[in-house]
Amino acid sequence: MLLMMLAGLAEPATASKQTQNICMSNLRVLQGAAEMYAMDSTTPLPVDSPTLQGELRRGDYLKQPVACPGPVFTFGTTRGYPGVMERLVPGAFVVRDPLASTPEYRLDPSGTVFCTFHGTVDTIPILAEAARERKYSRGALRIIDLLNIRSPIGELVLLGGLGALCLIASQVIRRLQA
């Protein structure tokens, strides 16, 4: 687990749950535009086609195109004080899929807008948790969540404890060398 967390240091820092929130917001905008289109038009929108946004823009149901932030899930706090682990090891809270193609927004046969990577508004949290569990074992997740203290006082206690452990370890090493 320590190696996975250290490997996470190479990941860029990213706002917690930002990618899911952006994608979910885009899905809601597109779903509303698709529903307005369906009320006004007799021609159905193209199903499972990358031209969904073009059709909605032509009919003035969508002012600007929206884009998914990419094939990545992020985790952690959404508001307030970020946890100590989120700041120390931001890569531990990021799951990327390097093999995924660029996500697109499409319409399924039932009329629900979905992202080709994140899924629908309802499935994003489920897929995000599944991606997180694929990256780490359940035991590692418990430790990460436990150490991700979100208060300044709790953080001081944790860092003080880590400092004390380092001091003890250095004294043990000195005695072993003597």
Q: Which residue has the higher pLDDT, 46 or 80?
A: 46
pLDDT at 153: 64
Torsion of CA 141, 143, 147, 148, to 10 degrees: 10
Q: Strand (E) positions, 44-151?
A: 72-74, 94-96, 105-107, 113-115
Spacing of C-alpha 27 from chain mean position: 15
pTM above 0.95, yes or no: no
Q: Convert the pLDDT of each residue in 87-99 to its tens digit.
A: 777 777 788 887 7
* Residue 116 · residue 126 · CB < 8 Å: no
The strand pair at 105-107 and 94-96 is best described as unpaired
Split at pLDDT 50, 70, 90, the class of 34 is very high
If you average pLDDT over residues 58-68, what whole number do you get? 92
Tokens of 101: 């193609």
DSSP 176: H
Length of the chain: 178
The predicted-structure confidence for 142-164, as pLDDT tens digits, reads as follows 777 776 665 666 666 666 777 78
